[in-house]
Amino acid sequence: MTSTTKTEGAARPAIDKQALLAKYLEERDKRLRADGNDQYLQIKGQLAHYLEDPYTPRVEREPKTDHVTFAFIGGGFAGLVTGARLVEAGITDVRIIEKGGDFGGTWYWNRYPGAQCDTASMIYMPLLEETGHMPSEKYAHAPEILEQCQRIGKQYGLYDGALFHTEVKNMEWLAEQSRWLIETNRGDRFTADFIGMGTGPLHVPKLPGIPGIESFKGHSFHTSRWDYDYTGGNPRGALMEKLADKRVAIIGTGATSVQAVPHLARACKELYVVQRTPSSVDVRANKPIDPQWFEGIATPGWQKRWLENFTANQGGDVAEEDLVQDGWTDLSRRIRSKIMELPRDQMTPKNMMLAFEDSDFEKMEEIRTRVDSIVKDRETAQNLKAWYRQLCKRPCFHDAYLQAFNTPGTHLVDTDGKGVERITETGFVVGGKAYEVDCIIYASGFEVGTEYTRRAGFDMTGRNGLKLSQAWADGMRTKHGIHVHGFPNAFIVQPTQGANLISNIPHNLTEAGATIATIIKHTIDGGYHEVEVTQEAQDKWVDLLLTGTGRMIGSPDCTPGYYNNEGQDPGPAAKFNVGYPAGATAYFKYLDAWRKSGNFEGLAFN
Interaction site with ligand NDP (CB under 6 A)? 31, 116-118, 202, 208, 210, 251-257, 259, 274, 276-277, 394, 415, 419-420, 443-446, 561-562
Radius of gyration of the CA atoms of the chain, in A: 24
Please, which residue, 120 or 471, has the CB nearer to ligand NDP? 120
Minimal distance, residue 375 CB to ligand NDP, in Å: 18
In whole angstroms, the minimum distance from the beta carbon of 243 to ligand NDP comes to: 20
Q: How far is the CB of 245 from ligand NDP (least distance, A)?
A: 25
Q: What are phi and psi of 539, to 5 degrees?
A: -60, -40
Amino acid at 332: S
Packing angle between helix 142-155 and helix 77-88, nearest 10 degrees? 30
HEC per residue, 274-299: EECCCCCEECCCCCECCHHHHHHHCC
**CB of 217 vs ligand NDP, minimal distance in Å:** 20
* 3-state DSSP percent of the chain in helix, strand and coil, to 5: 40, 20, 40
Nearer to ligand NDP, 152 or 558 (CB): 558
Closer residue to ligand NDP in complex, CB, 178/426: 426
Nearest to ligand NDP of 111, 165 (CB atom): 111
Distance in angstroms (rounded) separating the CA atoms of residues 182 and 66? 10
Alpha-carbon distances, residue 513 vs 251, 492, 520 (angstroms): 37, 9, 11
Residue (184 or 564) nearer to ligand NDP, CB: 564
Least distance in angstroms from the C-beta of 413 to ligand NDP = 9
Q: What are phi and psi of 55, to 5 degrees?
A: -100, -35
Query: What is the closest distance, in whole angstroms, from the C-beta atom of residue 254 to ligand NDP in the complex?
Result: 3
Rounded to a whole number of angstroms, the minimum distance from the CB of residue 417 to ligand NDP is 7
Q: How many CB atoms lie within 10 A of CB 507?
A: 25
Min dist. Cβ of residue 393 to ligand NDP (A): 6
What gap in Å lies between CA 65 and CA 461, rounded to an integer? 19
- Identity of the residue numbered 448: V
CB 2 within 8 A of CB 15: yes
Shortest distance, CB of residue 577 to ligand NDP, whole angstroms?
Answer: 15
Q: How far apart are CA 264 and CA 273, in angstroms?
A: 10
Q: What whole-number distance in Å separates Cα of residue 497 and Cα of residue 495?
A: 7
| Closer residue to ligand NDP (CB): 26 or 241 | 26
Count CB neighbours of 130 within 10 A: 16
Q: Which is nearer to ligand NDP, 419 or 579 (CB)?
A: 419
> To the nearest whole angstrom, how small is the minimum distance from the Cβ of residue 535 to ligand NDP?
34
Whichever of 419 and 488 has its CB closer to ligand NDP, that residue is 419
Q: Give min distance, CB of 31 to ligand NDP, in A.
A: 6
3-state secondary structure of 55: coil
Amino acid at 526: G
- Indicate the residue among 397 and 600 with the shorter CB distance to ligand NDP: 397
Whose CA is closest to 278, among 361, 373, 378, 401?
Answer: 401
Residue whose CB is less far from ligand NDP, 338 or 393? 393
With contact defined as beta carbons under 8 Å apart, do 168 and 195 qualify? no
* Pick 13 or 212: Cβ nearer ligand NDP: 212
SS3 163: strand
The 10 Å Cβ neighbour count of residue 13 is: 14
* Element of type H or E holding 169: strand 168-174
Spatial separation of the C-alpha atoms in residues 351 and 248, rounded to whole Å: 48
Nearer to ligand NDP, 184 or 565 (CB): 565
CB of 278 to ligand NDP, least distance (A): 8
> Rounded CA gap, 533 and 488, in Å?
8
